[in-house]
A and B are shown apart, each in its own frame.
Chain A
Amino acid sequence: MEWLNAIFSGPFLAILGAALAAGCAGAGSARGVGVAGEAAAGVLTEDPGKFGQTLLLQALPGTQGIYGLLVAFLIMNNIGLFGGNVNVTTSQGFMYLAASLPIAIAGYFSGIAQGRASAASMGVIAKKPEELAKSMLYPAMVETYAVLALLVSILMLTNV
């Protein structure tokens, strides 16, 4: 039953948490940025001068991936992965895993949803480029929930 021990070892669970945080949030951002990029390319075919503005909108759903990276880094740092001396009990490992879940789940879904909002905002840029600030706010509303999840993840982590 060596594999069972390996699975329920603290370090593995903590690293699994880091992997979920970076992986899920990153996947959400990738899909969001992708969807926004498709719409941006469409706007550009009409007016290549809007490259900068569309790029800003496309970058918005990218933050979830960064939040995921951030939480993953904090977990790796907390368990001492960079120092080479990992010392985590099984119960701590589960706690790290749990703490990674908010940003993993909210990051994945909000990344996609924010990407769709960004893509829709590209239409605003196409027709009324002067309303960039307003069009950026719709995707930003979605991001709120990723920010809240990040916050909860961080608060949990710092208290494990």
Chain B
Amino acid sequence: MTIVKMKRLCLVAPSAMKRKLLRELTRYGCVEIESGEKFLADPAWTEFLEKERGEANAVSSQLSSMNSALTILQKHAPAKGGMMVPKRTISEADFYDEEQISNALTAAQKINQLAQDITELYNRQNQLMAKKCFLSPWQNTDVPLDIKAGKTVSLIFGTCPSSVNLADLQDALSNVKECKLVLENSDKEQHYLSLLVHKSVEEEALDALKPKGFSTVSFKGYSGTARENMDWIDAEIDQNIKTREALVANIVEQQTERQVMEQALDALSLDNTRENVLNSQLYTKKTVYMQGWVPEQATEQIQKVMQGNECAFEFVEAEEGEEPPVLLHNRSGLVSSFGSITELYGLPGYKTVIDPNPFVAIFYFLFFGLMLSDAAYGLILAIFGFLVLKKAKPDGMFKKFMVLATCVGISSFLWGAAFGSWFGNAIPTVVQMATGKEITVPYILDPLAEPMKMLVLSLGFGVVHLFLGMGLSGYRMIKQGHVFDAICDILFWYLIIGGLLAVLLGAQVGLYVALVGAVGVLLTGGRHKKGFGKITGGLGSLYGITSYLSDILSYSRLMALGLATGVVATVINTMGGLAGNGVTGWILFVVVFIIGQAFNLAISLLGAFVHTCRLQYVEFFGKFFEGGGRSFKPLYNKTKYMRILKEEN
């Protein structure tokens, strides 16, 4: 039994202690607190509950301010190292240090303010650019834009489409004597014009021009000539850019506070999680009621925490019909890393008898290597995974995946070495290019030369995998007391498939074994049906042989993907070697080799990952897996930058 037994925890705590209590529970990482909302519909509860539950969450806005400040800082002054930098360690007392956090918040506010100033400067610059665009056609006009032309004369600026002929405009004005139209500038779209006109005929002139597309331009708010205006705009834009640079420099200066801010971000995000939990709990005037789940073996530890915080509490068994969350217990870290593959599919239900992880671990290891099947690729993967583990000391899901990468890298290395594949046929190719001699790398089986052997190996693995899945299903049936079902649904099928395989391998006796199995299935397949269904049900069950056949054939992908990796690598080497044994030939080879092999590695990794998962999920899990579990989500120190040291007390 590897699914951890859960106890329900019910507790009443003094409201004053709630934050301290949750902080301590977080430290152990083994208590999941549920939302209390389900009780709110029950009048028996609401009767004595406070309407106002919890306070507004002040931490959340601090958290988002810290988040945006760190994002801004990262943009202007990127942190060095990336994923290879391990988390810093810190004691819990230092981690929640109020002074540090308030320092960090000050720094964050400063950065956010600076970023806001920068945005405003950008907006101002855009406005200025637009103004400049508007003015630039008028830059040769040497009268001030705000000119008051006097009591009797008006100066009007305007534009008309460039398709209009200037002579037409002059013609239109021929009836208006007291005016003068001057072309100031033209571009692709428009003519820019100024019209000097006596006030008495101003309207007449405008009316005459209007049908030609003339429209007036207003320079309200401007003084001086267009040129002068553009000069000060240019000057302000220059100043604007300089100010922005100075502000960015100010932001970059703040990177001395980065570590404090990162720590504060972690502390605030944990506080925020706890505040959210607290907001969904049930309150009376002085106390808070919480419900949750605790793994059975952790109850003693949690009991101490409760007693230290003046809580009234009890641990009770899960009620009938209640689904406790699922936590898988694995003895070895290696198996639990492969367990992440199971978790990607979905957790087994709480009452599951079988823990699939050890089997997933074995076959994931075998199959991934068989599909990648290149010793050099395997080495690259294993070394990469190992280095990340060593240098960055990751935790959680990321750590599991890195352990996984290291393991399947080793598996690929072993399979690749067995098939004599090192970057495909890179070694013979290079030797032949350099010396002209033909060599072969030692191998146990060449999949391309003996594809039938390889196919039998793949399908053989498939049969073992499927039989194991069926066996696990049978084990569960027996464990639940359905021995007869186990015989009908598992044993008879073992006889049929095993018998047919024996026939394939040349043992005629297998035929009789298979017949016994088939008769068994035919007779019992309809046992849950009524009347006529008892006969047709057996036939229907026997027809299920097609699904076993397709399941087994599905494992041929083990061979196909392995071949694909090797042959594509060989194609790359061949292409690289086309230019022969000269200086250019070698340069071409190196370039093609590096780009091509990197591409092939990426594509093959993706293929191997997806198809290994598929074999586990569809063929293997399909035989026995009972899903539907909800994962156990305890409060724990989930941090991005810091590792909080556990203090034993």
Contacts and interface: CB of A to CB of B under 8 A. Distances in A.
A74 B567 contact: yes
Interface in A106-160: 133-134, 136-137, 140-141, 143-144, 147-148, 150-151, 154-155, 158
Candidate in B553, B560, B603, B607 with the most chain A CB atoms within 10 angstroms: B560
A56 B606 contact: yes
Contacts of A137: 610, 613-614, 617-618
B564 A134 contact: no
Contacts of B344: 133-134
Contact of A70 (B571, B574, B610, B613): B571
Nearest to B553: A148
A32 interface: no
B423 to A, nearest CB: 16
Candidate in B448, B568, B610, B611 with the most chain A CB atoms within 10 angstroms: B610
B451 A154 contact: yes
B613 A144 contact: no
A39 interface: no
B64 to A, nearest CB: 17
B554 interface: yes
A3 interface: no
B556 interface: yes
B606 A60 contact: yes
B603 A62 contact: yes
A158 B610 contact: no
B560 A66 contact: no
Candidate in A56, A82, A133 with the most chain B CB atoms within 10 angstroms: A133
B564 A67 contact: yes
A30 interface: no
Interface residues on B, range: 20 to 34
A63 interface: yes
B222 interface: no
A41 interface: no
Contact of B556 (A56, A70, A148): A148
B560 A133 contact: no
A133 B345 contact: yes
The SS class assigned to the A binding surface is: helix
A104 interface: no
A140 B556 contact: no
Nearest to A72: B571
B611 to A, nearest CB: 6
A73 B571 contact: yes
A3 B533 CA distance: 65
B495 interface: no
B603 A151 contact: no
Contacts of B345: 133-134
A63 to B, nearest CB: 6
A66 B344 CA distance: 28
A140 B560 contact: no
Nearest to B559: A151
A69 interface: yes
A150 B559 CA distance: 10
Contacts of B560: 147-148, 150-151, 154
A37 B617 CA distance: 27
A59 interface: yes
Interface string A66-108: 1101100110000000100000000000000000000000000
Contact of B613 (A82, A133, A150, A151): A133
Contacts of A141: 614, 618
Interface string B445-457: 0001101100100
B257 to A, nearest CB: 25
Contacts of B556: 147-148, 151
A155 B452 CA distance: 8
Given A74-B567, A137-B617, A155-B455, A66 B603 contact: yes
A70 B567 CA distance: 6
B613 A73 contact: no
A82 B429 CA distance: 14
Nearest to A153: B560
A60 B345 CA distance: 19
Interface in B405-444: none
A60 B605 CA distance: 11
B610 A140 contact: yes
A136 to B, nearest CB: 5
Contacts of B613: 133, 136-137, 140
Contact of B451 (A60, A133, A155): A155
A141 B618 CA distance: 9
B12 interface: no
Contacts of B614: 137, 140-141, 144
Contacts of A151: 455, 556-557, 559-560
Contacts of A133: 344-345, 613
Nearest to B617: A137
Interface string B556-574: 1101110110011011001
A44 B448 CA distance: 41
Contacts of B455: 151, 155
A150 B610 contact: no
B451 A136 contact: no
B564 A70 contact: yes
A144 B606 contact: no
A140 B615 CA distance: 11
Interface in A41-64: 56, 59-60, 62-63
Given A70-B571, A158-B448, A158-B451, A144 B603 contact: no
B340 to A, nearest CB: 10
A132 to B, nearest CB: 8
A72 B331 CA distance: 49
A56 B561 CA distance: 17
Contacts of B607: 63
Nearest to A155: B451
Nearest to A63: B607
21 contacts: A59-B603, A60-B606, A60-B610, A63-B564, A66-B564, A70-B567, A70-B571, A73-B570, A74-B567, A133-B613, A137-B610, A137-B614, A140-B610, A141-B614, A143-B610, A144-B554, A144-B557, A150-B564, A151-B559, A151-B560, A155-B455
Interface of B: 344-345, 448-449, 451-452, 455, 553-554, 556-557, 559-561, 563-564, 567-568, 570-571, 574, 603, 606-607, 610-611, 613-614, 617-618
Given A62-B603, A70-B567, A154-B451, 7 more contacts: A63-B603, A133-B344, A134-B344, A140-B614, A148-B557, A154-B560, A158-B448
Name the 3 nearest CB pairs between A and B, nearest first. A133-B344, A147-B557, A151-B560
